[in-house]
Structure 1
Amino acid sequence: MPRSERSPLLLAGLLAAAGAAHFAAPRRFDATVPRLLPGSPRAWTYGSGAVELALAAGIAAPPTRAVAAKAAAAFFVGVFPANVQMAVDWRRRPARQRNAALARLPLQVPLVLWARGVARSGEGRS
C-alpha cells in the first residue's frame, strides 16, 4: 500500500479508536467537557464519539475523503476547549497526569495539519 494511501487510513483508524473509546469509557471524557456547554456532559461525550466515528468512515472512503478530512480538521479545532479544560482541571494532579494533559494542547496542531493534508490529497479523486 503506498504511503499516500496509509496516511488517510491511519487518520481514520485514530478517529475510529477515539470515537469507540467515547462509548467504551465515557466517564473519562465526561470530565473534559467544558462546563460552559449546555446539557449533560454525557450527551457531549456520546455526540463527539459519534462524530469521530462518522469522520473515520468518511475519511476511509475515497469518494468522501476530502470533505470528511476537512471536517476532521474543523473538529480537531472545535474540541480544543476540552483539552484546555482538562489541562486546567488536572493542574493539581501528579506530575505525570498534569504533563500528559498539557502535552495534549500542542498535539492538536499536527492533527489539524494531518487532516488538512489528507483533504488535499483526496481532492479530485471522488
Structure 2
Amino acid sequence: MGNRDGADLIRVIFATGHAAVKATGLKPDKTVYVSVRPEKLKCATTSVPGFNLRGLVKEHIYVGSVIKTIIELSNRQEVTMSLLAGAPLIPLGETVWVYWEKEDTVVLHANEETPSSLCEQVPKIEVRA
C-alpha cells in the first residue's frame, strides 16, 4: 500500500501499476487485498486519473446476456470484466487501462480473511497489493 491521495483515498501499489481506492483506517506500507466485482471493472483506451493498470484485451466470451472480457496485465495476470451483451467491445489486442469507481473497491487487511474464502462466497477480482 502506498501514499494517501486525499480524504479517504489511498493509492495501492500493485506489481502492474497503481490505483486510487476509497478506504479508511489503513496504514501506509501494509499489505492489503483489493477486490472489485467483474461488473464494476471498466477499461479505457487512454489513461484514467488515479489508475495505472495497463493491459491487452485478450478475449471476449459470450455467456448468455453477459460478455466476459479477459484483459492480460503486464505481468501476464488476467482480470475479467463483465459487460451486458450489446455493449461496445474494444478490439482484441488493443491496449487498455483498467479502472473502476473508487467506491466500488473492497479493501481488506491481509490478516482479516484469506482471498480464497472470499472467492468461494462471491465471485470477485482480487489483486494482492
Superposition TM-score tier, normalisation by shorter sequence: under 0.3
With normalisation by structure 2, the TM-score equals 0.25
Larger RCO, structure (CA 8 Å, separation 6 or more): 2
**Higher strand proportion, which one?**
2
TM-score (norm 1): 0.25
